[in-house]
C-alpha cells in the first residue's frame, strides 16, 4: 500500500487545530451567560451606523441584504455598538452569498480610511471562485486557505469570526477552516489590536450579499 505523506500530514494538522481550539469553543459556550448577548450591527434597511469609503455606490440595500457590487470601496461600521466600533475580543457572524468570480472580505481591528486597501487589522477573505488562490477562511496573506473554498457560489453560508486575545478562529457553517495564533513579535499595522469591522467591495466584477450581521463582545 502506498501512503501519501502529504495527505497524512494535512490530516494531522487539521486534527491538532481542532484539538487546540476545542477547549476555547467549549469555554465560550459555558461562559455565554457571562458575556454579552448577540447584537445586530445592521438594521436591515439603512446604512445608519456605517460609513462607505472611496466608492459608496458599490454598496446598496436590496430585500434585507447588503449588495456589494462595484469598484473598490469599504463599508466601515461606526455605529453605537462598541462605542463606535472599538472592538477587541468578539465573535462576529454574517450570512454571505457569492456569485462566480467574486472577491470580498471582512476586515476586523481596522479603522476608517478614505481610499485604498485598509492598512490596519486583518482581512477574513471571501472568495469561492475568484482567480485569487486565497479562498474564504483565509486571514489574507497571513494564514491562507489555498485553492479549495469551503463553500459554493449561489449558496448562503454563515461566516463566523472569533477573536480572543492573540487567537483567531474562522468558521464556515460552524466548521473551523482557520485557526491562527498571532506571534508576540508581529510588527506593523496588520495585527491584532482593536478596531472596527469593514465589508469590502473588491472590483466591478465581484457581486456579494451580506445579511444578518451581528457581534457578541467578549471580555478583554
Q: Which residues 6+ apart lie within 8 Å of 194 measured at CB?
A: 86, 87, 88, 109
The sign of the CA dihedral 12, 28, 94, 113 is negative
End-to-end CA distance of the chain: 51
Q: CA-to-CA distance for 146 and 154, rounded, in angstroms?
A: 20
Assess whether pLDDT exceeds 70 at residue 217.
yes
Domain contains 112: yes
Residue 31 covered by a domain: no
Position 19 in a domain: no
The 3-class secondary structure across 18-83, one letter per residue, is HHHHHHHHHHHHHCHHHCCCCEECCCCCCCCCEEECCCHHHEEEECCEEEEECCCEEEEECCCCHH
Whether residue 1 is contained in a domain is answered as no
- pLDDT for residue 121 is more than 50: yes
* Domain at 161, CATH number: 2.60.120.560
Q: What pLDDT, on a 0 to 100 scale, did the predictor assign at position 202?
A: 98
In sequence order, which residues have a C-beta less than 8 Å from that of residue 117 and are 6 or more positions away?
72
pLDDT tens-digit profile of 152-188? 999 999 999 999 999 999 999 999 999 999 999 999 9
Among 1-5, 15-19, 142-146, the minimum mean pLDDT is found in 1-5
What integer pLDDT is reported at residue 20 of this predicted model?
A: 47
Boundaries of domain holding 176: 38-217
What is the Cα–Cα distance from 60 to 32, expressed in whole angstroms?
Answer: 34
20 lies in a domain? no
pLDDT interval class at 35 (50, 70, 90): low
- With 90 as the cut, is the pLDDT of residue 34 above it? no
pTM of the model: 0.85
**Is residue 21 in some structural domain?**
no
Number of domains forming the structure of the chain: 1
Residues 6+ apart with CB under 8 A from 106: 92, 94, 123, 124, 126, 159, 161, 197, 198, 199, 200
- Proportion of the chain above pLDDT 70, given as a percent: 84
Query: Does 96 have pLDDT greater than 80?
Result: yes
Amino acid at each position: 500500500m502506498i501512503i501519501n505523506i502529504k495527505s497524512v500530514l494535512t490530516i494531522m494538522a487539521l486534527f491538532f487545530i481542532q484539538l487546540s481550539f476545542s477547549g476555547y469553543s467549549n469555554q465560550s459556550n459555558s461562559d455565554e451567560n457571562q458575556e454579552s448577548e448577540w447584537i445586530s450591527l445592521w438594521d436591515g434597511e439603512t446604512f445608519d451606523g456605517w460609513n462607505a469609503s472611496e466608492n459608496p455606490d458599490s454598496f446598496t440595500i436590496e430585500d434585507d441584504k447588503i449588495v456589494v457590487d462595484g469598484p473598490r470601496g469599504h463599508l466601515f461600521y461606526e455605529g453605537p455598538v462598541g462605542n463606535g466600533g472599538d472592538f477587541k475580543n468578539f465573535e462576529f457572524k454574517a450570512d454571505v452569498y457569492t456569485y462566480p468570480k467574486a472577491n470580498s472580505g471582512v476586515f476586523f481591528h481596522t479603522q476608517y480610511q478614505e481610499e485604498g486597501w485598509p492598512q490596519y487589522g486583518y482581512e477574513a477573505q471571501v472568495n469561492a471562485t475568484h482567480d485569487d488562490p486565497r479562498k474564504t477562511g483565509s486571514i489574507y496573506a497571513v494564514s491562507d486557505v489555498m485553492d479549495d473554498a469551503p463553500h459554493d457560489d449561489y449558496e448562503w453560508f454563515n461566516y463566523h469570526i472569533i477573536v480572543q486575545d492573540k487567537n483567531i478562529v474562522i468558521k464556515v457553517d460552524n466548521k473551523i477552516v482557520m485557526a491562527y495564533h498571532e506571534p508576540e513579535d508581529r510588527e506593523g499595522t496588520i495585527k491584532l489590536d482593536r478596531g472596527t469591522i469593514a465589508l469590502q467591495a473588491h472590483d466591478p466584477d465581484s457581486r456579494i450579499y451580506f445579511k444578518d450581521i451581528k457581534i457578541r463582545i467578549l471580555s478583554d
